[in-house]
Structure 1
Amino acid sequence: MSSSRAIVPTANASRYLQQLCKHWGHKFEVSFDPQAGRVALPFGPVDLKADDAALEVTCTIEGEGDLARMQQVVADHLNRFAHKEGELVFDWQPVA
């Protein structure tokens, strides 16, 4: 199992968290509220936490999978939702 986390500065963290969960809720099992969410992707979960200043995103690969690809897919989706704000900054760091 491998994980990475990014703290993404944005004043719209809760909105993006909910948009991502609703978007992926048509294909995957999701649970969320305005402050936290989880998307159960086939190769591992994406966990989200929102506060007034940032969105914390944690990607976890369980078993076989490409963590860098997972990070890119999550970042691409969130950047689509944030198009009015401009590109979000993802500084992915390994989780021990």
Structure 2
Amino acid sequence: MAATTARIATPNGRRYMTQLCKHWAHKFEVVHDETQGLVPFAADRRCRMAADDGGLTLTLEMDGDGPMERLQEVVIEHLKRFAFREENLVRDLGEVAWTPAG
């Protein structure tokens, strides 16, 4: 399994996580509470989220081969839509540092 993680510093991490989970719940069987979320995009790829007062941690997991970069782009583009009021954050989301998780 390949996994990458990114930390997004924002005081609105819980809000964005909730918005992302509710948005994707229309297509996927999303599970979430106030501090954690899981979006199973497919049987072999998922997004885990953890939110706290300092921000949002995203962990993308893929079983097998596939373009992790595309999954990263999809998640960040959706986050940008919900964070449009935070101009600095939206700008910074163009340069998210994904690191191997494990």
TM-score of the alignment, normalized to the shorter chain, above 0.5: yes
Where does the alignment leave 5 or more consecutive residues of structure 2 unmatched?
none
Aligned residue in 2 for 1:49: 50
So what's the TM-score if we normalise by structure 1?
0.94
Aligned residue in 2 for 1:64: 65
State how far apart, in whole Å, the 1-side matches of 2:54 and 2:97 are.
15
SS of the residue corresponding to residue 66 of structure 2 reads coil
Q: How many residues in Structure 1 have an aligned counterpart in Structure 2?
A: 96
Aligned residue in 2 for 1:94: 100
Identity rate of aligned residues, in percent? 41
RMSD: 1.1
State how far apart, in whole Å, the 2-side matches of 1:82 and 1:59 are.
19
SS of the residue corresponding to residue 6 of structure 1 reads strand
Aligned residue in 2 for 1:13: 13
Deviant stretches of 4+, over 2 Å: none
Where does the alignment leave 5 or more consecutive residues of structure 1 unmatched?
none
State how far apart, in whole Å, the 2-side matches of 1:65 and 1:15 are.
30
So what's the TM-score if we normalise by structure 2?
0.89
State how far apart, in whole Å, the 1-side matches of 2:25 and 2:75 are.
14
SS of the residue corresponding to residue 91 of structure 1 reads coil
User: Counting helix residues as a fraction of each chain, which structure ranks higher?
Assistant: 2
Aligned residue in 2 for 1:32: 32
Following TM superposition, by how much is the alpha carbon of 1:95 offset from its aligned partner in structure 2, in angstroms? 1.2
Following TM superposition, by how much is the alpha carbon of 1:64 offset from its aligned partner in structure 2, in angstroms? 3.1
State how far apart, in whole Å, the 2-side matches of 1:46 and 1:84 are.
24
Q: Does the CA-based 8 Å contact 1:21-1:37 persist in structure 2?
A: yes
